[in-house]
Structure 1
Amino acid sequence: MKELVNEKFIIKLDEENKLIFLGHKSDVTNMNWIEGKEKWGTTFCPEGIKFSIERKFTEDGNLREKYSFKNTTEFPIGFKRTDIGIYTTFNDNYEDTDICIEEKCHAHIFCGEEASYVMAMQMGGRAPHLGMKVIKGSIVSYSVERDLSEESNDRGDFILHPDLPILQPEETVEVEWELFWFLDKEDFRKKLMETHGFPVVNSKQFTYFIGETIKFDVVAAGVFKEEEIEIKYKNREIPFVLRYEGYTTIVTCEYLVNSAEEIKIEIKFAERTTHVNFLGRKPLHEMIEERCSFIVEKQQYHKEGSFLDGAYLIYDNEEKKQYYSHLDDHNGGRERICMGILLARYLQKKENAAFLKSLEKYISYIYRELYDDKTGFVYNDVNRNLDWHRLYNYPWMSVFQLELYRLFKDKKYLGDSFRTMERYYKEGGGKFYGIAIPAIELLNYLKLENMKEEAEAFEKDFTAHALHILENGLHYPPFEVRYEQSIVAPAVSCLIQAYEITKDKGFLEEAEKQMAVLELFNGEQPDYNQYEVAIRHWDGRWFGKYRNYGDTYPHYWSSLTGMDFIQYSKIMGNEKYKEKAKASFRGCLSLFGTDGSASCAIVYPEMVNGKKGHYYDPWANDQDWALYFALRYEEATIGK
C-alpha cells in the first residue's frame, strides 16, 4: 500500500495503483470518501484498448487524475456509449443513520460532457465536502452496480462513461478530472469556475409551463468573445446577452416555452461543450384534468361482486391494461390511494360529473375493503387484509378523508380523518415517522366544527409525536429503508407543524437543524430530472413493472421536501425557500405524459447491474402524489 499526503488530502493506493482511501487531511473522523465493491479507478474497455492512470497534486493542493486510452491494434476502434467505464466509488450507501451522518456522502452527478462534475455532500452536513470536475475529455452518462443483497440500502458503485472518438491505431485519448474540497453548494459553484472556461449554468427553475419564459445564465472564468459562444436548441441559435464582471464572462438567455416537451439546449463555450435540460409542460390544471380523465377511464376497475370493484389500479402503458397483484406495492391499497386524493382535490376546483361518479364509487370501495370507520383501522389490501399492518397507510387515509370533507362539507369524513389518526397513535404512530401527516389542517377543521374533545386529543398525540422527533434529533430510526429523504422530510414537517400549533421555538430550531440535513439530498444539476430533486434509488424495484433498482430522478416523494420548504417559507417569509419549493414541486411533473398517462419511476442511470436503464417505467402506479402536492400548494407551484 502507498500513501500520499499534502495539506488537503490523504490518499492510499493499492499495488494496482487504485485508490482505496481518500480523506481530508484535517478530518478528525478520518472519513473515507470512497468505498465500494470495486476500487476507485477500476476501468473497463474493449479488447485492444490499453489504459493507464496518472495522479498528481496541483499547485493549489487539489488532486488530478488522468486516464489514458490507447488503441494498440492495427485497426480503428469505435465505442458504444457504455463500452468504457471508470469506477468512481463515492461512499454513498445507507447503513445505520449515525454511521450515515458521520461517514457517508450524497453524490450528485452531472454528466454534462466537457463540463461534467460530481458534488458529494457529507450526509451530516459537515464541511468540507468533496467535489470533482472534468478538466479534459467528456463524460456523457453514468451507470451503477449495486450490492443486491442490501436491497434498498446500497446506491451502488458509480461508473462514469467517457465519450471517446473512433481511435486510430496507436492513437491515445485522455480523460482528466480534478478532486477538490468545498464548503457548501455556493462554494462548489465557485470552485467549478476556478477552471478557466468551465461553463456553469444557473437558473431558478428547470420545468416551465407553456407560455412561461425560461431564463438562465451561463457563467465562466475568462473573457470570451461573442463568436466563441453558441447557445442552440434543435440546431437553432438562441439569442443571448453578453456581459463581463471583471475576469468573468456571463451569458444571459431567454426562451419562450411553446410546447410540452424536453428542451435540451446545447452550449458551446470556447473549447468546451455542455448542455442544459429544461422541460415544458401544459398548464397545471390542464395536466391534472387529463390525468384525472385517464384514471377514471383506464385505471378504475368495474366488476360487480369483486373485491376490486371501484378500485383505482396500476395501469400498464405498454400492454394497455390494468394490473393487480396482492404483492404489497402492486395491490389495491397503500400508496395508490393518491389517485382518489387527487380527484377529490381537483373536484374542489372544478365540477365534473364523470369524475364525481367515479370518485363516489371509489369511496364505496375504500370503506368496504380498506377502512373500518368504527375502529379507524386501515387495511393493507382488499378484503380488509392485514397481512402487514403498515403505519404509513394511516396518514394517507386521513388525508383522503380530509379532502372528502373539504369536497362534500360532510363532518362524517372529518370525524373519520380524526379517528384514523387516533388509531395511528394507538398503534404506535407516535414513534413512527409517518409521511404527509395533515396535522395543521386536521386540527384547524376540528376546531372550526367545534369538535373540541377531538381537537384536544389529536393535539396532545401530535405534540407528543413531535417531541419524540425532537428528542431523537439526527438519530433517525430505520424504517423500510435505513436512512432516506422520506424519513428526514416527515420529521421536519412534524416539527414545523408542531411549532405552528404550539409556538414553541424549540420545535422551529430543531426543524431548521434537520432541514439543513434534508437539503443535502437535493442536487442542483442543470437538468429538470435532477434539479432540487431528492436522491432516491429503489422505488423502481418495488413499484415498477421492470422491478429494477437505480436512481429515480425524479420520484414523487421528492415533493415532501418541497412541502417542508413552502411551510418554512410561510412561517419565516423566506423567498429563497419559496423558490426552492416551486422547483421541488415542478421537478416531479416529468412523471406525467401529455395524454394523462404517467410513470411511477424514471430509472435514471444508463445501466443498473448490467441492465438497460434511463427509461420511464411503463406502470402508472403511485406517482399521483406529485400532482396532488402540486395542486395542494398551487400558489407555490405556479409561483404567482
Structure 2
Amino acid sequence: MKNNLKSILFLIVGFLFLGNVTAQNKDFIIHTDINTGGIQKIMNKGDKYKMNWIFNCDGSDLEWFTPEYAWGLGFITLEKSGKQETYKWNSVSDISEKNGKTILSYEFTDFTLKITRSFNADGDLIENFKIENNSSESLKVVDMGIYTPFKDWYAGGAEVCMTSRCNTHVWAGGYNSSYVNAIRMGTEAPHLGLVLTEGSIRHYELINTRDLPRKVAGSNLRGGITLKVEPTTIKPGDNYGLTWKVFWHKGYEDFYKKALESGTVIAEADKYFIPVGETAKMRFKSKNKLENVSCSVDGKSLKFKQNGNLISVEYKAKKPGDKIVTLNYNGKKTVINLFYSTPTEKLMKNRVDFIIDKQQMGDKTDEKFGAYMVYDNEEKEIYPNIPFKVDHDEGAERLGMGVAIANWLQQFPNSNKKYKKSLEEYYQFVRYKLQTKDYKVYSTVAHNKRHRGYNYPWVAAFYAELYKQTKNPVYIMDCYHTMRKWYKEFGYDFYAICVPIKKSIDYLREAGFNKEAEILLNDYKKVAIEYDKNGINYPSHEVVFEQSIVSPAVNFYMELYLITQDTHYLEEGEKHLAILKAFNGQQPDYHLNEIGIRHWDGYWFGKRQSWGDTMPHYWSALTGRAYILYYAATGNEDYLRRGKICLENNLCNIRNDGTGAAAYIYPEKVNGVKAEFYDEFANDQDWALFFFLEMNELLSWKI
C-alpha cells in the first residue's frame, strides 16, 4: 500500500497536507508526515507571526523530539489472556479518503488503530482515534496516550515567546469534558483550543529530556504533553476511542464559550481550597439541559439544583483531605477537585511550630546555628545537604521561613517566647553569617557558593517584617542598607522576586528615616525606568522566560503606583498583567485553578528531582499577590477573587500536620515515571504562606 500513498495524496490535497506540500482550509495550515501519520505543524492561515503551535517532531526543534512523538501518534498497552504488551502507532499501514475525510490505518496482529481527520463546516479540525478489536478475545486497554506536543517552551527568549510559544492549560481530568486551552504567551490572538467531543480522557503525562544534557531543554522546556485515554475492555469485533475538535479562539472567554457550544460541560467552584467547616459552592454549565443527572462525593449522593443548563451543588466536608465532586450526566461524567484543609489559623500555627521545632538548626557548635533548613519528611530530619546542592542550602529561598514567621508574629503578638527567641536566633544567623558587615548577601555561611541577586530583597523583606513586628528601627535600617547594597552590586535591571517596595518606604518614613526613604524610592524609580525600556521583552534570568520574571514587573509597578499614585506606573503595570494572566489556568482543580504554569522547580528544589509540572509551586503565589495589588490600585473585584483563589490553592503544599512540600508534581507520569506526588522535602513553600498571611495588609493599601 505504501507504494500507492503518493497517488492517494492527490485525492485529498486541499483538505490536508501530507509529505512536503502545503494545503489549507480557510483557517488551518496543517503539515503531516506521510510515513508516520503524525502532524508536524498546526498553523493559523492569518497569523502574522506564522507560529507553529506544536513541536516539529523531526529533530529540528529538539534533537530528541523525533517523528514518533508527532501530534496524534502515541502508545497503547493491551492485556490479552493475562499478558500485557505495549504498542506504538508511528508507521502508517494504509491511507484512504472517504466523504472528505482522511483515514490513517495502523495494522497490528490483534487490532487496527485508525485516525480519521476532517474539517467541519466551521473550519475546525476533527480527529477521531479508534481501536478495532480484530481478535477472538477481549482486549483490555491498560494504558493509552496520544501525543499533543504543544509548544510550551521558553527557548529563544521572551521576544520569541511573545509570538511563537504558548501557555498550555490542560484539563485532562475532566473525563468526558476534558479540554486544552493554549494561549499565546504574548496574549495576541489567535489562540488554539482542543475539546473532547466523544470518549474520555483521565489525565496527562509529560515526555522530557531525562537522558539528555540539560542544555537540550532543562528548565525551559515543559515537555511533550500526552493525553491519557480512560482504560476499558474491548470485546471481539467492537471498537473504542475518542474524538476531539481543534479550533482557534480569541482568549479565555471565547475558548469557554466555544467549548460549551461543542458540548463540553464547564465545571467551576467559588473556591477550591476550603477550611473544614466551610461550604463549597459549585456549578456545572452546559449548552443544553443535561439529562439523567446525579452528583456524588466518595460514593455518596449530593443534592443539587438544576435550572435549565445550570446545575448548582454545595458540599461541606467533615474531615480534611482531597474531595472529588463527580457529576454524572447522559451516561458521561466530569469532576471538580477540592481540598479541605485544617482551619486556616490552625494550619498556619502548625506550620510555624513545625519550622521552629523541626527545621531550625539547634546545634550551637554548627556554623549554621539558628538557620531554618530544608527538612526531609521521609527521614524526619533536617537534610544534611551532602553532597552539596545550591537549592538545598541554608540561605536563598529558605529565607521565606523567617519572613513568614515574622509576619505571623505580627498577627499573633501574644504568642509565647519560643517564637520570638527562634526569630532572634534566625536574625543573628542572617545578619552575621549570611551577610557580611557591609550587607553583602550570600547563600551559605561559607560565602563561597552563590552571590545571587535574588537573595538581597529576600533578606530585606525579612528585615521589613521584623520591623513591623517589633518597631525596632535597627531592622528597617538593615532593610535599607541591604537594598542599597543590592543596587550597588546588581544595578537596576534585575527582575527580582518579593522586593518589599512599599513596605520599605512606609516603614522608613514611620521610623523617621525620611531621607533614606526618598533615596530608596529614587532607586525604585530607576528600576521602573529600566523596566519601561524593556517593555515585555523581558531579559533572561535563571530561566529564559517564566511567570516569576513577569510577576515582579507587575508587583513593582503596582507598588510604585500605590506609593506615588502616578498613573504611568499603573498603565505600565497593566501591560505586564496581561502577560502574567496567560500563565494561569482556570481548570476546576485546586492544583490548577489560578495557578501559574511552572515545570522545573521540583527538579531543583525537591528530593526526587523530578521534572514536570509543579502545580502548585509556591512562586505561583506571586501572581495572586499581583492580583491583590491590582485590586488595591483599581478596586477591580474580579482580581480580588482570583488573587484569593491563587493564594489559597498554594496552601495545599502545607500539610495539615505542619509539614511542607517543595512542590506537587501534577502529571500522571514524567518520562514514564509515576508522578502525582507531594515532594518529600519541606523546601521554600513558606513563601506562599507569607503571601497568604500578608494579604490583609495589602488590602489595607486600597486607594
Aligned counterparts of 1:224 and 1:522: Cα–Cα separation in 2:
29
Q: Indicate the percent of aligned positions where both proteins have the same amino acid.
A: 36
Residue 167 of structure 2 corresponds to 106
Q: How does 1:215-226 map to 2 (within 5 A)?
A: 215-225=281-291
Residue 155 of structure 1 corresponds to 222
Q: 2:500 aligned with 1:438, yes or no?
A: yes
Higher mean displacement: 153-162 or 32-41:
32-41
Residue 214 of structure 1 corresponds to 280
Secondary structure of 1:554's aligned partner: strand
Secondary structure of 1:78's aligned partner: strand
Aligned counterparts of 1:87 and 1:587: Cα–Cα separation in 2:
29
Normalised to the residue count of structure 1, the TM-score between the two structures is: 0.95
Residue 323 of structure 2 corresponds to 263
Aligned counterparts of 1:4 and 1:239: Cα–Cα separation in 2:
52
Residue 606 of structure 2 corresponds to 544
**Per-residue CA distance 1:417-464 (angstroms, 9 max, x = gap):** 000000110012411001011111101111122212211210111100
**Per-residue CA distance 1:449-507 (angstroms, 9 max, x = gap):** 22122112101111000111122110000000000000000011111122223333222
* Native 8 Å contact 1:8 1:61 kept in 2: yes
Query: 1:222 corresponds to which letter in structure 2?
Result: N
Q: Give the deviation of 1:49 after TM superposition.
A: 4.3
Residue 294 of structure 2 corresponds to 230
Secondary structure of 2:492's aligned partner: helix
Higher mean displacement: 254-263 or 89-98:
254-263
* Native 8 Å contact 2:399 2:459 kept in 1: yes
Q: 1:167 aligns with which of 217, 234, 242?
A: 234
* Native 8 Å contact 1:582 1:636 kept in 2: no
Query: 1:25 corresponds to which letter in structure 2?
Result: K
**Per-residue CA distance 1:370-423 (angstroms, 9 max, x = gap):** 023x4111111123x142210000000001011111122211111000000001
Q: 1:9 aligns with which of 16, 28, 43?
A: 28
Secondary structure of 1:6's aligned partner: coil
Aligned counterparts of 1:6 and 1:613: Cα–Cα separation in 2:
40
Structure 2, gaps ≥5 residues long: 1-18, 58-64, 77-85, 88-109
* Native 8 Å contact 1:545 1:618 kept in 2: yes
* Native 8 Å contact 1:585 1:637 kept in 2: no
Query: 2:430 corresponds to which letter in structure 1?
Result: I
Aligned counterparts of 1:637 and 1:231: Cα–Cα separation in 2:
37
Aligned counterparts of 1:619 and 1:79: Cα–Cα separation in 2:
35
Q: 2:310 aligns with which of 250, 255, 260?
A: 250
* Native 8 Å contact 1:19 1:39 kept in 2: yes
Aligned counterparts of 1:209 and 1:170: Cα–Cα separation in 2:
50
Aligned counterparts of 1:192 and 1:318: Cα–Cα separation in 2:
43
Q: 2:187 aligned with 1:187, yes or no?
A: no
Q: How does 1:189-588 map to 2 (within 5 A)?
A: 189-196=256-263, 198-225=264-291, 228-244=292-308, 249-325=309-385, 326-350=388-412, 351-372=415-436, 374-383=437-446, 385-588=447-650
Residue 29 of structure 1 corresponds to 49
Aligned counterparts of 1:637 and 1:160: Cα–Cα separation in 2:
40
* Native 8 Å contact 2:629 2:699 kept in 1: no
Aligned counterparts of 1:315 and 1:164: Cα–Cα separation in 2:
38
Query: 2:389 corresponds to which letter in structure 1?
Result: L
Secondary structure of 1:525's aligned partner: coil
Aligned counterparts of 1:74 and 1:321: Cα–Cα separation in 2:
57
Q: Give the deviation of 1:602 after TM superposition.
A: 0.6
Aligned counterparts of 2:527 and 2:537: Cα–Cα separation in 1:
15
Secondary structure of 1:588's aligned partner: helix
Query: 1:7 corresponds to which letter in structure 2?
Result: K
* Native 8 Å contact 2:480 2:504 kept in 1: yes
Secondary structure of 1:483's aligned partner: coil
Q: Give the deviation of 1:525 after TM superposition.
A: 0.3
Q: 2:692 aligns with which of 626, 630, 633?
A: 630
Q: Give the deviation of 1:3 after TM superposition.
A: 3.5
Aligned counterparts of 2:314 and 2:235: Cα–Cα separation in 1:
41
Aligned counterparts of 2:565 and 2:305: Cα–Cα separation in 1:
48
Aligned counterparts of 1:544 and 1:467: Cα–Cα separation in 2:
37
Structure 1, gaps ≥5 residues long: none
Aligned counterparts of 1:622 and 1:352: Cα–Cα separation in 2:
25
Aligned counterparts of 2:29 and 2:600: Cα–Cα separation in 1:
33
Query: 1:262 corresponds to which letter in structure 2?
Result: D
Structure whose CA Rg is larger? 2
Aligned counterparts of 2:699 and 2:354: Cα–Cα separation in 1:
22
Aligned counterparts of 1:412 and 1:277: Cα–Cα separation in 2:
47
Query: 2:442 corresponds to which letter in structure 1?
Result: Y
Aligned counterparts of 2:698 and 2:483: Cα–Cα separation in 1:
27
Query: 1:195 corresponds to which letter in structure 2?
Result: S
Query: 1:296 corresponds to which letter in structure 2?
Result: I
Query: 1:207 corresponds to which letter in structure 2?
Result: F
Q: 2:73 aligned with 1:42, yes or no?
A: yes
* Native 8 Å contact 2:207 2:223 kept in 1: yes
Q: Give the deviation of 1:634 after TM superposition.
A: 4.0
* Native 8 Å contact 1:33 1:104 kept in 2: yes
Query: 2:44 corresponds to which letter in structure 1?
Result: H
Q: Give the deviation of 1:113 after TM superposition.
A: 0.7
Secondary structure of 1:140's aligned partner: strand
- The 3 A distance-change label for structure 1 pair 429 and 262 is farther
* Native 8 Å contact 2:443 2:450 kept in 1: yes
- The 3 A distance-change label for structure 1 pair 321 and 367 is same
Aligned counterparts of 2:404 and 2:523: Cα–Cα separation in 1:
27
**Per-residue CA distance 1:509-549 (angstroms, 9 max, x = gap):** 11111100100000000000000000000000000000011
* Native 8 Å contact 2:320 2:339 kept in 1: yes
Normalised to the residue count of structure 2, the TM-score between the two structures is: 0.87
Aligned counterparts of 1:214 and 1:512: Cα–Cα separation in 2:
32
Q: Give the deviation of 1:229 after TM superposition.
A: 0.6
Q: Give the deviation of 1:75 after TM superposition.
A: 3.0
Q: Give the deviation of 1:596 after TM superposition.
A: 0.5
* Native 8 Å contact 1:446 1:452 kept in 2: yes
* Native 8 Å contact 1:540 1:547 kept in 2: yes
